[in-house]
Every structure is written in structure tokens, then in C-alpha cells.
A and B are shown apart, each in its own frame.
Chain A
Amino acid sequence: MFESWKVKMNHQSRPTLHASRNTQHATRIAYLVLFLALLFASFSSASAQSSAPTDDEVNAIARQLYCPVCESTPLDVCPTDACKEWREQIRTLLAEGKTEEEIFEYFEQQYGARVLAEPPREGFFWLMYLIPPVIILAGVVILFRSMSDWRKKPAPVEVEADEIPAAKDDYLARMEEELKKQK
């Protein structure tokens, strides 16, 4: 009976030993899976962080746009809540993989060309590019012409001594005489 018990015990202990080994094995696998999951999570988090647009990237685009509400304020320095929302919109668009041009296009479609620091080179906006150089050119031409006129201006005419009228000559003679008397 004892033998049988021993056998039984041995027989019973074997599955226990197997179970312990299996548990250890399963635990190791679980640790490995957990480790790999953590590793993957940290990698994906790192890659997400690296793909998230930085403030500098957002501001590089924002400074080429103007606040649609507050006049003449570039979006990168505008302190209002509305401007913060627009900067966040730029960040969202950058995160979606939109290019700078596509973001400008989006802002133009939403808020009009007035938000663009550089107006589009089309239609009526061409005047903004043409008028300043034409005015500068006209100014240069006028300046050049004026300067050449100033150069051509004759020097004061020298009057010869013998051209002085006689009456004035007498007057001078008298003056000199008076001066001599005073001395």
C-alpha cells in the first residue's frame, strides 16, 4: 500500500512538477510578451513624438499668415485665443501630412486671401507686385532728370569791372574819400 502510495505519490508529484515547469515557462513567455509590448509601445510613442509638429514648425508657417480678426498681426505673435486655435489648426494640418502650400491654400479657402502675408500671384493681386516697382522706377527717373538739371544750372555771371556804370563809380570814389577823411 505504501508502495502503491509511493507510486501514487510519485505519480501525483510528476504532474505537479510538470505544472510548475509549465507555469514557469508561461510566466517567462508572459514576461517576454510584456517586454516586447512595452518595447513596441515606447518605439511607437517615440515615433509619434518625433512626427508631432514642433512649435517652431508651426510658427514658421504661422508667421506667413495674418490673424483674420485682428488686423495686421502675424499669426505667430498674435496673443488672442482665436489665434491659438488657428495655430493649433496649423499643427493639426501638419500632423496630417499637409505641406506648407496646402496649409496656405486651406487658410485662403477658409478665411480669404487677406490672411496670406504674400498675396497670390494671380488676377487683381498682380497689381500689388507691379505698382511698387513701377513707382520706384518713376521715382528714379524723376530724380535722375532733376539731378541732371541741377548740374546744367549755369554759374553766377561774372561782371567785368569796365561794365560798372559811371554813376556807381563816382559813388564809390566818394565813399572812399569819406573813409580817408575819417581816418
Chain B
Amino acid sequence: MTEQTNIEKKGVALWVQIVVWVFIVGLLALVGFGLNKARNPMAALNEPVPDFDLVYYEGYEYKDTPQMKLSDFRGKVLVVNIWASWCKPCEQEAPDLEEAWQLYKDGDDVVFVGVAYVDTPAGSSQYLKKFNITFPNAPDLQSNISSILNRQMGVPETYFIDREGILRHVKIGPFGSVNEIQKVIEGIQ
């Protein structure tokens, strides 16, 4: 035998509900705004690469200028190689990159820039000396450059930017030969 009893359920006050919802919506808006602000603009294939600047390692400057801005390289093909001293596949392509740089450096039409991704200054210095790298190199402070270039997998990754500052080719992983690097550059020129 059951008896139905009416239990009066006390609801949450309307003003409390409003305050809670306003707080939650405000918090989500704040998080969204913060994430959007923290995010760098990203490059996409066949799109202009957002401008960025780098401060070169001492001894690895381009034409004796201590820093570079991407927009300064308009009119030249820019090859940006992202590497790290702790990355074994980077060692595989380092001699090829240097050899390719030797082919283009006098022409002043193609510029190579190495960007050391999350590396120590000592590690970077050892690596550059080990492979006799002579093209300009700079650290990727706070991973800003790899973020702007939309690094996809890891290191090494190489980005080919044409004379108008448009990203034309992305090589993920190490190059197999100097010829492979030349082919990509010739395709852009």
C-alpha cells in the first residue's frame, strides 16, 4: 500500500542561477579570448607567411646584420630549416644543407636560415661547428617561429618561401640529397 505525498522541492533562487550562469559564460569567454590572444598567426601552404623576426647566433649573421625580419627577404627565395642538436635525423641532412647553401650563397637570390628548435646554446654551437654550417642561424625563442610556420611533426622541417613571401613547399623530415633541395628551389624559382 503506497501513499502519495507531495514534497515541496525548494528551488535555487533565480538571482543565484543568473549569477552562476553569468560567471560560467564570462569564464568561457575569458578562456577563449586568452587562447586566441596566445595563439600565433599560422602559415599555410600557398598563403603569405605572417611576418616574424629572429636574432642570429653570434658568428652566424646574414650580411653582418644581427637580426632579420621575414619581410626583409622579399625578392629572395628563403629556405627556413628547423633543426635541433638533439635530433638525429637533422644530422643526416646537415651536410646536404650546407652543400646546397654553398651553391646558392654567391647568387644572393636564395637565402638559407637555420632555426634551432628548443635547444641549448652550447648544444647548438657544437652542432653548427660539427657540420661546418656557415649559413645564418638563430634560436627559436619560445618556439615562436616553429609555431608561426605551423611545424607539423617535429624536427627537421624545412619551409620554402618564395619572393612574394608565400609558403610554397614544406619538407617534413630530412632531405635525402643536395639534389632534392635544388629541385625544390628550382621549382620555386
Main secondary structure of the interface of A (DSSP, over half): helix
Q: Which residue of A lies closest to B147 (CB)?
A: A112
CA gap between A154 and B9 in the complex, in Å = 12
Whether A157 contacts B3 in the complex (CB less than 8 A), given A124-B34, A131-B27, comes out as yes
Interface residues on B, range: 20 to 34
Contact at B1–A127, with CB atoms within 8 Å? no
Q: Interface stretch among A1-9, A10-18, A44-52, A85-93?
A: A85-93
Q: Does B111 contact A (CB under 8 A)?
A: no
Whether A111 contacts B122 in the complex (CB less than 8 A), given A80-B86, A85-B85, A124-B37, comes out as no
Q: Does A109 contact B (CB under 8 A)?
A: yes
Q: Interface stretch among B74-82, B98-106, B136-144, B165-173?
A: B136-144
**Chain A hits for B139, CB < 8 A:** 110
Whether A69 contacts B10 in the complex (CB less than 8 A), given A85-B85, A127-B34, A157-B5, comes out as no
**Chain B hits for A134, CB < 8 A:** 23
Q: Does B184 contact A (CB under 8 A)?
A: no
Q: Does B38 contact A (CB under 8 A)?
A: yes
Contact at B86–A111, with CB atoms within 8 Å? no
Q: Which residue of B lies closest to A130 (CB)?
A: B27
Chain A contact residue count (CB 8 A cutoff): 27
Contact at A111–B3, with CB atoms within 8 Å? no
Q: Which residue of A lies closest to B121 (CB)?
A: A89
Q: Does A74 contact B (CB under 8 A)?
A: no
Least distance between A134 CB and chain B CB atoms (Å): 8
Whether A89 contacts B27 in the complex (CB less than 8 A), given A109-B141, A112-B142, A157-B3, comes out as no
Residue of A85, A86, A112, A154 near B5 (CB, 8 A) is A154
**Chain B hits for A154, CB < 8 A:** 5, 7
CA gap between A149 and B12 in the complex, in Å = 12
CA gap between A127 and B1 in the complex, in Å = 55
Q: Does A153 contact B (CB under 8 A)?
A: yes
Whether A82 contacts B86 in the complex (CB less than 8 A), given A88-B122, A111-B118, comes out as yes
**Chain B hits for A86, CB < 8 A:** 120
Contact at B38–A124, with CB atoms within 8 Å? yes
**A71-109: contact bitstring with B at CB < 8 Å (1 yes, 0 no)?**
000000000111001101100100000000000000011
Whether A109 contacts B142 in the complex (CB less than 8 A), given A124-B37, A131-B27, comes out as yes
CA gap between A80 and B118 in the complex, in Å = 14
**Chain B hits for A110, CB < 8 A:** 118, 139, 141-142
Q: Does A173 contact B (CB under 8 A)?
A: no
Residue of B1, B9, B20, B118 near A68 (CB, 8 A) is B118
Contact at B7–A153, with CB atoms within 8 Å? yes
Contact at B122–A92, with CB atoms within 8 Å? yes
Q: Does A159 contact B (CB under 8 A)?
A: yes
Interface of B with A (CB < 8 Å)?
1, 3, 5, 7, 9-10, 12, 20, 23, 27, 30-31, 34, 37-38, 84-86, 118-123, 139, 141-143
Q: 15 interchain pairs (CB within 8 A)? A: A68-B118, A69-B118, A85-B85, A85-B120, A86-B120, A88-B120, A89-B120, A92-B122, A108-B142, A109-B142, A111-B143, A127-B30, A134-B23, A149-B10, A157-B5
In the A-B complex, the 5 residue pairs with the smallest Cβ-Cβ separation, listed nearest first, are A82-B86, A124-B34, A112-B142, A68-B118, A89-B120
Interface of A with B (CB < 8 Å)?
68-69, 80-82, 85-86, 88-89, 92, 108-112, 123-124, 127, 131, 134, 138, 145, 149, 153-154, 157, 159
